[in-house]
Structure 1
Amino acid sequence: MSYPQPGRVDVRGLADHPLVPAGGGALRMVAPGAATAGRFGLVEYRLDPRSPGAAPHYHQTFSESFYVLSGQLTLYADGRWQARGPGDFAIAHERGAHGFRKDGDEPADFLILFTPGIAREQFFAELAELSRSGRRPTPEEMTAFYARHDQVMVDG
């Protein structure tokens, strides 16, 4: 019996994707698009209690999925906010309005999967830098920031 030519297997240890502060919590870029040849991007997110998370928005060129690992995460989907718990999954297809926040007194841990694997890590890196700097961008600067990262904000 013959086998196909062996493929490559990439392993990223925990030190390769440290947990870094992010607005209202912390995240780790488990598998950025650069590590997956653009096939997908995977982020582990920990949202602190009573954190605003991400206001309702949509993306035109990629989908974003959410899988709750622990705690209660409030997701915006189908025009309303709903609490979701461990094991719950949601996919926001292209142009599907979505958001997330943490309403309760315990943290929530969840995974975010982007397909295809656009360079979403740049979005999070820029947000973290804004937070660290303490600078408040103008509405025009935020509009340009969101446009650079294919994020269209909506009312919700």
Structure 2
Amino acid sequence: MCLPLILQPGEGPSVQIRTSTCTFKVTGKDTKNHFGLFEFVMEPGTDGASPHIHKQLTEIFYVVEGQVELILNQERISAAPGALMLVPENTPHGFSNPGTTRATLLIMFCPADSREQYFEGLAELTKNGRQPSSDELLDLMHRFDQYPVPQ
């Protein structure tokens, strides 16, 4: 059963991934797995997600603040607040904050598919500045329908 939910700014479970904070605003548990909505805050000069695909997941990115570099297929787009990117399954995509100010993205996942567990795993692998191995990253990615795209 879905329950109504109100979260104020800064509320919701969150994880720290290097210099970025991912806050789980809505997860699959809240929506019968229909969708999830996360807030992703990146400090200046942050590499976000390198190009990858999802085989069963559609993603939507919405820039709330700052300049975000959105990657769609081979194209890199500088996106200002209000910009939106819809990414169907099997479409290479990624994002980063190469700028000099903090940037905030809203990321929506359909279906939700426990997506927060990927970000929790990534936070654990990178805790205290740790650099995970390629095998560790690939294992985590594959468990959550994420596959790297060669650049």
Q: Give the TM-score, by structure 2 length.
A: 0.90
The one of 2, 11, 17 aligned to 2:12: 17
- 1:141 lines up with 2:136 in the alignment: yes
Query: Mind listing any 5+ residue stretches in structure 1 that lack a counterpart?
Result: 1-6
- Report the RMSD for the aligned CA atoms in angstroms: 1.9
Checking the alignment, whether the CA contact within 8 Å between 2:3 and 2:30 is kept in structure 1 is no
Q: Deviations over 1:128-154 (max 9, x none)?
A: 111215443332222211110111101
Shift of 1:31: 0.1
- Note closer, same or farther for the CA distance 1:134–1:123 as it changes in structure 2 (3 Å cut): same
Counterpart position of 2:52: 57
Distance 1:8 1:146 in 2: 28
The 4+ residue runs of structure 1 with deviation greater than 4 A are none
Alignment of 1:6-155 (within 5 A): 9-14=3-8, 17-155=12-150
The amino acid that maps onto 2:134 is: P
Aligned residue pair count: 150
Unaligned runs of 5+ in 2: none
> Do the aligned partners of 1:24 and 1:53 also contact (CA within 8 Å) in 2?
no
The letter for the 1-side match of 2:27 is P
Larger gyration radius, structure 1 or structure 2: 1
Structure 1 stretch displaced more, 98-107 or 130-139: 130-139
